[in-house]
Amino acid sequence: MHAPTAPTDASAETAAPLPSTTVIVDHPLIQHKLTLMRRSRTPANEFRLLLREISMLLAYEVTRDMPLELIEIETPLEKMMAPVVAGKKLCLVSVLRAGGGILEGMLEILPAARVGHVGLYRDPVSLAAVEYYLKLPRDISERTAIVLDPMLATGNSAAAAVSEVKAAGCQSIKFVCLIAAPEGLKTLHEAHPDVTVYTAAVDSHLNDHGYIVPGIGDAGDRIFGTK
Ligand code: URA
């Protein structure tokens, strides 16, 4: 029996520093809900609901820097100049299949966003990302893309998905996940240093099969109840 593994404490002296483009969203509600998700006995229906709720909270953080502009409106009492979101429109890019779990919650907060999909699977031996599907909005080059995948493990799929979004002409890209491994953060940062990563947690390490430890297991299987 192993001693329980704690998620990485990025401030610990022994831990390698995380890329400066890493934002750990450590809101207490997110941390609480993530703990419930991690439990192996949490059933798929609860897991999905928790992921949706956390995704809404992550949406709040990833859009914090959206510019505002003032427009004139009329309240029941008088005219006023009131702020509305301005700047580039958004495109949410879901990395299939587990990205769909985050997409649902994000769309609740950002209903006007366009949606793209990148289908990638991990070669079980090399752990390299293999693409099998790609559909992005035609105007993605004029939007800010937020690429979604719950687990930033090796970073290979994340880097490949971001490369596709860049190849489509998009220059403003963020990445949102639930749990990142230090290895994945490093790989993504080396490939795309311009991409900021928003994550609820940075865990200890990857195991020999490329799974994040302690992690949540296979995110797709836990969302869809497959296995
Ligand atoms: N993908 C998952 O679903 N879980 C991991 O731990 C790593 C990659």
- Give the per-residue SS3 of 92-127: EEEEECCHHHHHHHHHHHCCCCEEEEEEEEECCCCC
pLDDT in tens, 134-187: 999 999 999 999 999 999 999 999 999 999 999 999 999 999 999 999 999 999
Residues within a 6 A CB radius of ligand 1:
98, 151, 153, 210-212, 215, 218-220
Tell whether 151 is in a known binding site: yes
Q: Work out whether strand 79-85 and strand 68-74 pair parallel, antiparallel, or are unpaired.
A: antiparallel
Q: Which of 151, 157, 185, 221 to mutate to test the pocket of ligand 1 (most atoms within 8 A of CB)?
A: 151
Tokens representing 93 are 């890019």
Q: What number is the ipTM of this complex?
A: 0.95
Give me the pLDDT at residue 1, please: 43
pTM of the model: 0.92
CB atoms within 10 A of CB 8: 21
pLDDT at 10 over 60: no
Give me the pLDDT at residue 16, please: 82
pLDDT in tens, 26-38: 999 999 999 999 9
CB atoms within 10 A of CB 196: 18
For residue 210, which atom of ligand 1 is closest to its CA? 7
Give me the pLDDT at residue 5, please: 61
pLDDT in tens, 45-78: 999 999 999 999 999 999 999 999 999 999 999 9
pLDDT in tens, 133-147: 999 999 999 999 999
- Complete domains list, the chain, with CATH: 22-64+89-217 (3.40.50.2020)
Tell whether 65 is in a known binding site: no
C-alpha 159/C-alpha 43 separation (Å) is: 31
Q: Which of 218, 223, 224 to mutate to test the pocket of ligand 1 (most atoms within 8 A of CB)?
A: 218
Residue whose CA is at the smallest distance from ligand 1 atom 2: 218
Tell whether 153 is in a known binding site: yes
pLDDT in tens, 189-216: 999 999 999 999 999 999 999 999 999 9
